[in-house]
Amino acid sequence: MLNLKKREIPMVQFRRVLPEFLGPGGECWIEVDARAGGAVNPEYMAGQEQLILRARVLDRQRQKLEDDSAFVHAGHKNMLTVVQGRFGVLYDTCVIEWRTNIVNADTGQPLDQTRVNFLALTEVTVPEIVAAMVELEAEILKAGRIMREEQDATEKN
């Protein structure tokens, strides 16, 4: 099988300013350079398919629970697992590079730009970070739709 380098030109250049209290003093921000997601990104689609299968397995396991409380708690846990998986697929298949000056309160240092820290941002309860991560996902998928429309228009000509 032919193995070619992937395009590293970001289709999405995302930047959001966050509340100052999250940063080192002054403006706080997160920036992400990413490839387009959706149907134009086969790796993204394959990752989403695997995530859907995982979600169905988790749901099937939950259906076997007899205890109402366990059933409800499992549903909540499964939802969090799927959300984490969704952003994991996004990171693995679309994110080229990300930067931030958000400070880790434990160390007083800006976050390291790792996959673990990126996914941790999807679990925080800071509304502005949650909104930024959801907006990032939307921008990546929008770029994919635009690319697909351009491809379809080119094929028609």
19-78 residue pLDDT tens = 999 999 889 999 999 999 999 999 999 999 999 999 999 999 999 999 999 999 999 999
Which tens digit of pLDDT belongs to each residue from 96-153?
999 999 999 899 999 999 999 999 999 998 999 999 999 999 999 999 999 888 877 7
Please state whether beta strands 28-34 and 95-100 pair in parallel, antiparallel, or not at all (unpaired): antiparallel
User: What confidence score (pLDDT) does residue 148 get?
Assistant: 87
d(CA 156, CA 152): 6
Determine the pLDDT at residue 98: 97
pLDDT of amino acid 104: 93
Of 36, 16, 10, 30, nearest to 138 by C-alpha is: 36
Share of the chain above pLDDT 70, in %: 95
By percentage, how much of the chain surpasses pLDDT 90? 83
End-to-end CA distance of the chain: 31
Residue 95: pLDDT band (50, 70, 90) is: very high
- Range 83-91 average pLDDT: 96
